[in-house]
Amino acid sequence: SAVLDLAAIRADFPLLSERVGGTPLVYLDSAATSQKPQAVIDAEVEFLTRTNAGVHRGAHALAAEATELFEDARATVAAFVGAPPEQLVWTNGATAGLNLVAYSLGNATAGRGAPGSARFALRPGDELVVTESEHHANLIPWQELAGRTGAVLRHIPVHDDGTIDLDAAASVISNRSRVVAFPHVSNVLGIVNPVAELVALAQAVGALTVLDACQSAPHLPLDLPALGVDLAVFSGHKMLGPYGIGGLYGRADVLDDLPPFLTGGSMITTVSLDEAEYLPPPQRFEAGTQPVSQAIGLAAAVRYLDAVGMPAVHAHERALEARMGDGLRQIPGIRLLGDAEGVERVGLWAFDVDGVHAHDVSQFLDDRGVAVRVGHHCAQPLHRRFGLTASVRASAALYNTPDEVDQLLDAVAGVRGFFGAGA
């Protein structure tokens, strides 16, 4: 690679040198979950081996050390997305973060939990806005919230090339809109969405913006406060980190006024048998024992990404994306989803092969050592929009090589001949 020392990077990821079914692994499924560098595995093992103790409780030495590591991890991960530590809430992942927000808004509607929450209360006829390109994690929580409150769920369509229809957005987003939720990058289309434009439309009508940053956080320099969104979520396991950990970023005044979702230990100041007072953010949203070793693992992951440098990561993945897109366009019978011109992208392509079922394509690729994702990728409405029930998705990360992209392309070129669907 022109920008990264790929041999050194690949040596840091033990799984990449495994053989699967006798062939070297070509892992092109990082949008589902990324591989983990040894530094992340070591950070978790080291913590569990030497420091493990309950955080924010107990005065003994290990508890104090564990608390310090846990809060250092928060500061490290918050800084990675441009935020101060108190504006980063630990969650179990993006799905958990989005549900936290949706349930919190439901509690605001019920008048529970935070003195300033009335500004978030939803009334029947208020509107929640999403896009047609959501992962189900940023769709179903809003369907449920609409069902609980009488709010109406509306959506912004995408154009045939996968870009968001900003003219439609300008009419869908109105004085009735209370929430505008959208992906920074769709996990199917790979296009970096126009955050500034959508935030401007939402701010003009006083709607809360919620950004799904799952597919951008591992791939681009991210400054959530600069993007101007009110709330944003990401998942650790997609950005070289452990499972069961993720982040919810919020603007300070928004977090201050949001009621808690989960309640219980660790999120209170004083409790009587009849009522409780809650801590300020982020602790207000962190009821119960937290995923401490996972948070420490995620801090090691973002330190790894920072050491490589996110601008270099993005440039490398963009080159892989271009090679993949150019190669796929030249193979007869391939239809790329979201093949828009002049847009910023991350390193993934979902595609349909004319005359061959996506599951057969992925099986054929797997037989040649190329691991890709197949199905609707938790985005059924978007697939329906393109007249499909499933697609094949190849997604790259910083550790993938141009040679691996070529192996994907060679394998895809053989698919239609093998299945008798034309040359």
Catalytic positions: 378
The CB-of-336 to ligand PMP minimum distance in angstroms stands at: 18
Report DSSP state, residue 118.
G
Alpha-carbon distance 145 to 303, whole Å?
36
Asked if 91 touches ligand PMP (CB under 6 A), the answer is: no
User: Which candidate, 286, 230, 233, places its Cα nearest to that of 253?
Assistant: 230
Q: Which two tokens stand for residue 368?
A: 């040649």
DSSP 126-189: -EEEEETT--GGGTHHHHHHHHHH--EEEEE-B-TTS-B-HHHHHHHS-TTEEEEEEESB-TTT
Span of 69-77, 93-101, 158-166, 224-232 interacting with ligand PMP by CB under 6 A: 93-101
For ligand PMP, the binding residue among 55, 105, 128, 135 (CB under 6 A) is 135
DSSP 236-256: GGGTT--SS-EEEEE-HHHHH
The CB-of-234 to ligand PMP minimum distance in angstroms stands at: 8
Helices vs strands, H then E, count in the chain: 15, 17
For ligand PMP, the binding residue among 95, 391, 401, 407 (CB under 6 A) is 95
| Footprint of ligand PMP on 177-216 (CB under 6 A) | 183, 187, 212, 214-215
Asked if 94 touches ligand PMP (CB under 6 A), the answer is: yes
The CB-of-179 to ligand PMP minimum distance in angstroms stands at: 16
Minimum CB distance to ligand PMP smaller for 142 or for 278: 142
Span of 82-90, 133-141, 169-177, 326-334 interacting with ligand PMP by CB under 6 A: 133-141
**Helical axes 61-80 vs 292-308, angle rounded to 10°:** 40
Minimum CB distance to ligand PMP smaller for 55 or for 96: 96
Asked if 137 touches ligand PMP (CB under 6 A), the answer is: yes
Asked if 281 touches ligand PMP (CB under 6 A), the answer is: no
| Footprint of ligand PMP on 233-252 (CB under 6 A) | 235, 237
Count the alpha carbons within 13 Å of 209 in the hemisphere toward its beta carbon. Answer: 25
Please, which residues have CB within 8 angstroms of residue 61's CB and are 6 or more apart in sequence? none
CB 338, CB 423: distance < 8 Å: no
Minimum CB distance to ligand PMP smaller for 66 or for 232: 232
Asked if 230 touches ligand PMP (CB under 6 A), the answer is: no
Chain positions contacting ligand PMP, by CB under 6 A? 93-95, 135, 137-138, 183, 187, 212, 214-215, 235, 237, 378
